[in-house]
Structure 1
Amino acid sequence: MKRRFPASELLIGEVAARAGVSVDTIRYYERRRLLPPAARTTGGFRLFKSDVIARVRFIKQAQSIGFSLEEIAALFSSKDSISECQKMRDLLQVKIKELDERIAELRRMRRLLHRYLDECERELRRHGKVAECPVVDEISHTKEGKG
């Protein structure tokens, strides 16, 4: 197939392949306005500038470290006077705080699970195969109190 457009412009499949994502991902990012609107060939095929590849890779990397597409879109927005670095710093501070909160919650959950395990082991030592699980009873009562 002979190219009928500049080599600096890429079809959607070329962008997807070079960025390591699916064509559907490129379309989705375009719909979400994470990518600039693509020009079209006379046949209706999307034509992207080659710098879109770096942008798609950035989006995927940002997602992999916990950023939502909304947060990524906010980084791309240029409607305010905040610098790109300030936006990133602010977003990183929020992400670190969220992560710290999740870690604290996971630690609380781990302590609770250890407590439950200790209760089960004590009951099993006392009553063996006929043990009545104190954890099942406690969880059942907890649900009743909250429901």
Structure 2
Amino acid sequence: MAENGSLQIGEIAGLADVSVDTVRYYEKLKLLPTAARTNSGYRVFSVETADRIRFIKQAQEMGFTLDEIKQLFVSDGGENQCKSVRDLIQLKLTQLEDRMRQMKSFKGLLNRHLVACENELTAHGKEASCPVLTTIEISRK
């Protein structure tokens, strides 16, 4: 542990379960407050920085981009903070619903391809030609 209870970059990375490069990258993107420096020039961070990094990782897992996460932090403490967060969440939900519709449609296509393959294999056994590949070949022409 560095002086005054601050943590050096390797320690903060370990606490947040990320690499040192990730901490540097987040700092470069201004997702983290600029780290203080020791007299020897080492970066030092507060323990709260680990919480912020964990939040960033969780938000990414939920589909937020680093730019969107940065917007959340920029609105931090502003008058319209809650509205900004709500609007961003609303946008994410809309995007998620669109993606789910696309995935459902693609799932239907895959199911149709599966049935076509099963029918072809049942009808022709090892001699079956793949209807999926035939469809792809036709669409290329």
Structure 1 Cα separation of the partners of residues 16 and 107 of structure 2? 39
Q: In the TM superposition, what is the alpha-carbon distance from 1:23 to its structure 2 partner?
A: 1.6
SS, match of residue 4 in structure 2 = coil
- Distance in 1 (CA, whole Å) between partners of 2:53 and 2:10 is 13
**Quick one: distance in 1 between partners of 2:77 and 2:57?**
24
Misfit runs of 4+, over 3 Å: 78-82
Matched, 1:102 2:99: yes
SS at match of 1:47: strand
User: 1:105-139 CA deviation, whole Å, 9 max, x = no partner?
Assistant: 11111111111122222223333332222221111
Cα pair 2:75 2:84 within 8 Å, conserved: no
Residue range with higher mean Cα deviation, 12-21 or 27-36:
12-21
In the alignment, which residue of structure 1 is the partner of 2:49?
52
- Report percent identity of matched pairs: 47
Match of 1:13 among 10, 23, 26: 10
In 1: Cα distance, 2:48 partner to 2:78 partner: 24
Q: Could you list the runs of 5+ residues in structure 1 that have no partner in the other structure?
A: none
Distance (whole Å) between structure 2 residues aligned to residue 134 and residue 18 of structure 1: 52
Residues 27-80 of structure 1: per-residue CA shift (max 9 Å, x gap)? 111011101111111211012233222211211111121111111001111499
Q: Structure 1 residues 81, 55: CA separation in 2 closer, same or farther (over 3 Å shift)? A: closer
Aligned residues: 141
Q: 1:61 aligns with which of 35, 38, 58?
A: 58
In 2, distance between residues paired with 1:117 and 1:37?
54
Task: Give unmatched runs, 5+ long, in structure 2.
Answer: none
Q: TM-score, normalised by structure 2?
A: 0.86
